[in-house]
């Protein structure tokens, strides 16, 4: 048994066991088998007052089903153990940070997280958008539904990707779409990363249906648009490590990390991170490291990151952007110029970590790769994130979330059998990829503490996607595995209720499992929840409005409401650190 396996793991609910298994895998990779073991634990709801300790119930109660289901019109479960995987990474982060703090002079810490806290963290940008006040008293909404997945004339489902509006226009022109029509599709296509919906003009879908796969691929290749065929396979490429770590060349005597000062200091207090990252993956990593106590300095282009203007905007900044970047200091620098690069080198000379998610080859072009920055600071943990690493060869597709889902097998694994495979428009690999990058940084800091040398760590969206456990064939879901309508909302049966369908039917007064749904429609959600709880079949209400989370007393300790400083709700830090009392 791994030295990081917590007691009681065999009797824990299945989702908690999955989270612990993921945590153990990452801790084994981070530490090996040291004599000093961090103390950590994972449970179901944690500080959230809900009757949920299984993957799908937590997805339902915390809003994950709601966001994932936006594109198809109703809350729907992610068929693979995504929340459990996220929670396992959080557990590993807490344990690693606690041990790092211990080696920097802090008393031993025990850390704890939960499935509900993991679920809430994945919703950070969506929760912010749902609760933001634009100054008129109106709350932001995401109107319209639709997946971005397209179908070719030969019935192949495809996902396309580009970040360039000119490439988008050229691709659709090649397929015979007028420029004005193609232009109407650009905004919802780009906004899908934040809205989880993609209501494309029907003319675009019709244009792809008029061409076979090879013609669509040729149009993509001609204009720099990635085109990926979506298959039924749920497997990820074999042999993918969550991250790689390589030591920097030795330079001078080893130097200790700065000590943690203050009994209440967070584990990474006193450490500085320089972040040059855009969109979600890189900023999530910096966000997590900041929540653990590090000072984070963002490097943005002159005038600021363009994502600051992404709607909805409150207080002069995009709330989706702010949700992942608030609390970070900002330095503006044009990295295409010598003074801009010198600004980065100066920041790095006084930093512990530099992280980026630049396109492949950009670090070398800018002369800001690991070798160049280790020459400035030999003790630097240099962290790079990408879409695919080297797994798909020297010319990988555009490295974004939805293509990583396709190539990582999640486009099929996250959809149940009987539904066409398609990526979730919730940014599942972007968030998970950012969390894995943060864990790689923690592993690098721990290695530096032991050796006095810096290192280079690298991870990818694809390597993060490979962490998610999934069956060899797509999972089949029964009627009880989906949200069930009540008189005033939706209810999701808990694990016990789904495991005992006859008992569930008897409790609600149905003649059989096929008529459970009919009976549930006769009473309110709260009435049924009370009756099912009394019968030993605890279940949850399905969250259909994220704005309600900030006002729900059950989430008071896990969700921070809007305030004068940040006009939107956001998840609290997902770890609880307490001093050990052995």
Residue 552, burial from CB neighbour count under 10 angstroms (0-12, 13-18, 19+): middle
Rounded to whole angstroms, the Cα distance separating 141 from 68 reads 15
Among candidate residues 481, 323, 469, 483, the one with its CA nearest the CA of residue 416: 481
As a three-state string, the secondary structure of 170-188 is HHHHHCCCCHHHHHHHHHH
Which run of H or of E encompasses 516?
helix 516-520
User: Is 430 an annotated catalytic residue?
Assistant: yes
Which run of H or of E encompasses 7?
none
Among candidate residues 570, 577, 578, 573, the one with its CA nearest the CA of residue 117: 573
Q: In what order do the strands lie in the sheet with 576-579?
A: 39-43, 109-114, 576-579
Rounded to whole angstroms, the Cα distance separating 143 from 359 reads 32
Among candidate residues 169, 231, 249, the one with its CA nearest the CA of residue 204: 169
Q: What would the two tokens of residue 298 be?
A: 């963002």
Rounded to whole angstroms, the Cα distance separating 227 from 211 reads 13
Which run of H or of E encompasses 354?
strand 353-356
Residue 304 is given by DSSP the state: -
Scan for tokens 């006095």, then name that residue: 452
Assess whether the previous peptide bond of 204 is cis (omega < 30° from 0). no
Instruction: Specify whether the CB–CB gap between 407 and 397 falls below 8 A.
Output: yes
Catalytic one of 154, 305, 430, 548: 430
Q: Which residues are catalytic?
A: 430
């Amino acid at each position: 048994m791994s030295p990081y396996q917590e007691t009681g793991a065999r009797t824990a609910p299945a989702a908690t066991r999955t989270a612990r298994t993921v945590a153990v895998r990452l801790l084994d990779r981070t530490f090996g088998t040291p004599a000093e073991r961090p103390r950590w634990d994972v449970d179901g709801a944690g500080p959230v007052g809900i009757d949920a300790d299984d993957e799908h119930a937590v997805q339902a109660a915390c809003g994950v089903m709601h966001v994932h289901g936006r594109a198809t019109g109703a809350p729907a479960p992610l068929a693979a153990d995504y929340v459990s995987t996220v929670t396992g990474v959080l557990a590993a982060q807490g344990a690693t940070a606690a041990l790092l703090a211990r080696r920097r002079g802090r008393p031993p810490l025990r850390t704890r997280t939960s499935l509900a806290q993991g679920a809430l963290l994945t919703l950070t940008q969506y929760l912010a958008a749902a609760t933001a006040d634009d100054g008129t008293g109106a709350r932001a909404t995401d109107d319209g539904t639709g997946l971005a997945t397209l179908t070719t004339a030969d019935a192949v489902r495809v996902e396309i990707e580009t970040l360039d509006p000119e490439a988008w226009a050229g691709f659709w022109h090649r397929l015979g779409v007028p420029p004005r029509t193609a232009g109407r599709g650009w905004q919802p296509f780009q906004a899908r990363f934040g809205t989880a919906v993609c209501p494309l003009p029907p003319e675009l879908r019709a244009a792809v249906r008029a061409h076979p796969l090879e013609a669509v691929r040729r149009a993509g290749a001609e204009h720099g648009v990635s085109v990926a065929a979506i298959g039924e396979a749920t497997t990820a490429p074999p042999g993918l490590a969550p991250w790689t770590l390589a030591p920097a060349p030795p330079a001078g005597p080893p130097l200790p990390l700065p000590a943690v000062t203050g009994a209440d200091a967070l584990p990474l207090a006193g450490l500085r991170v320089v972040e040059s990252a855009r969109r979600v993956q890189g900023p999530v990593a910096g966000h997590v490291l900041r929540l653990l106590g590090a000072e984070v300095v963002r490097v943005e282009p002159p005038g600021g990151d363009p994502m600051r203007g992404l709607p909805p905007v409150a207080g002069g900044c995009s709330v989706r952007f702010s949700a992942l970047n608030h609390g970070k200091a900002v330095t503006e620098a044009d990295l295409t110029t010598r003074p801009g690069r010198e600004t980065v080198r100066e920041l790095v000379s006084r930093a512990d970590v530099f992280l980026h998610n630049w396109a492949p080859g950009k670090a070398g072009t800018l002369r800001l790769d690991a070798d160049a920055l280790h020459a400035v600071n030999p003790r630097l943990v240099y962290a790079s994130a990408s879409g695919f690493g080297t797994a798909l060869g020297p010319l990988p597709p555009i490295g974004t979330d939805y293509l990583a889902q396709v190539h990582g097998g999640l486009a099929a694994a996250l959809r149940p059998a009987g539904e066409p495979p398609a990526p979730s428009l919730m940014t599942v690999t972007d968030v998970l990829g950012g969390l894995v990058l943060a864990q790689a940084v923690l592993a690098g800091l721990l290695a530096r503490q032991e050796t006095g040398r810096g290192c280079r760590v690298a991870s990818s969206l694809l390597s993060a996607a490979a962490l998610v456990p999934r069956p060899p064939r797509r999972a089949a879901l029964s009627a009880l595995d989906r949200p069930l309508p009540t008189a005033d909302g939706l209810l999701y049966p808990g694990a016990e209720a789904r495991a005992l369908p006859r008992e569930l039917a008897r409790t609600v007064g149905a003649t059989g499992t096929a008529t459970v749904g009919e009976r549930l429609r006769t009473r309110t959600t709260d009435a049924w929840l009370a009756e099912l709880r009394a019968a030993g079949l605890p279940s949850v209400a399905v969250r259909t409005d994220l704005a309600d989370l900030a006002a729900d007393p059950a989430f008071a300790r896990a969700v921070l409401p809007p305030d004068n400083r940040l006009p939107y709700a956001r998840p609290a830090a997902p770890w609880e650190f307490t001093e050990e009392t052995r």
